[in-house]
Homo-oligomer: A and B are copies of this chain.
């Protein structure tokens, strides 16, 4: 990427992060932590492999990403964010929040990965009853299950199936997220094909505002 050549902090930021795919690579590393090249490619459907390799090199040169030779038995390379790279988390959250309304439109043909829900969940949901025992919800809405857990007043999500979940939600991402964020009620979600197993009441504990269950 050619530099903007401007003595301006924003322009310098864009010199580093403004290239195509760059911020989406940072998104993957924020969500996943250290990952392999193949994991990154899988979380970035549509990227060309040479593009990923080149961007990782640029991010490494810029001090945003570092590579690490994985521990003994596996013998593979891991990519992870540096401290400087992790400073980008709140910025990516805000950028995502700005674009959230754009997800309302149909957007047919869009690719989806379940772990992309991690950031919006951590940003928009709160545990309204931190004193009570924690709850676990499993989402099945794409390539892999996602586990939602309450803890210290916040709501965390991480890839993988939940052990002994209080609730399991199965359906399209639009319906799952619409329900979790309180944008649509349970009847609407059901009409959109959402299915549930377990205790729907736990939803009220984490939804941002009053929403019917």
Contacts and interface: CB of A to CB of B under 8 A. Distances in A.
Contacts of A10: 23-24, 27, 92, 95-96, 99, 119
Given A91-B95, A94-B94, A98-B88, A110 B6 contact: yes
Interface in A1-56: 4-18, 20, 23-24, 27, 45-46
A102 interface: yes
Number of identical protomers = 2
A92 B94 CA distance: 10
B116 A45 contact: no
A110 B5 contact: yes
Contacts of A112: 6-8
Contacts of A100: 9
A16 B23 CA distance: 14
A4 to B, nearest CB: 6
Contacts of A113: 8
Contacts of A87: 98
Category for how many chain A residues contact B: 35 or more
Best-buried of A7, A96, A113 by chain B (most CB within 10 Å): A7
> What 9 A-B pairs have minimum CB-CB distances, sorted nearest first?
A13-B99, A12-B102, A9-B96, A7-B110, A12-B99, A10-B96, A7-B112, A9-B99, A8-B116
Given A7-B111, A16-B99, A17-B95, 17 more contacts: A5-B45, A5-B46, A6-B110, A6-B111, A6-B112, A7-B103, A9-B97, A9-B99, A9-B103, A10-B23, A11-B99, A13-B96, A15-B99, A15-B102, A18-B20, A91-B94, A91-B95
8 contacts: A7-B110, A8-B113, A10-B24, A10-B119, A12-B99, A13-B102, A88-B98, A91-B98
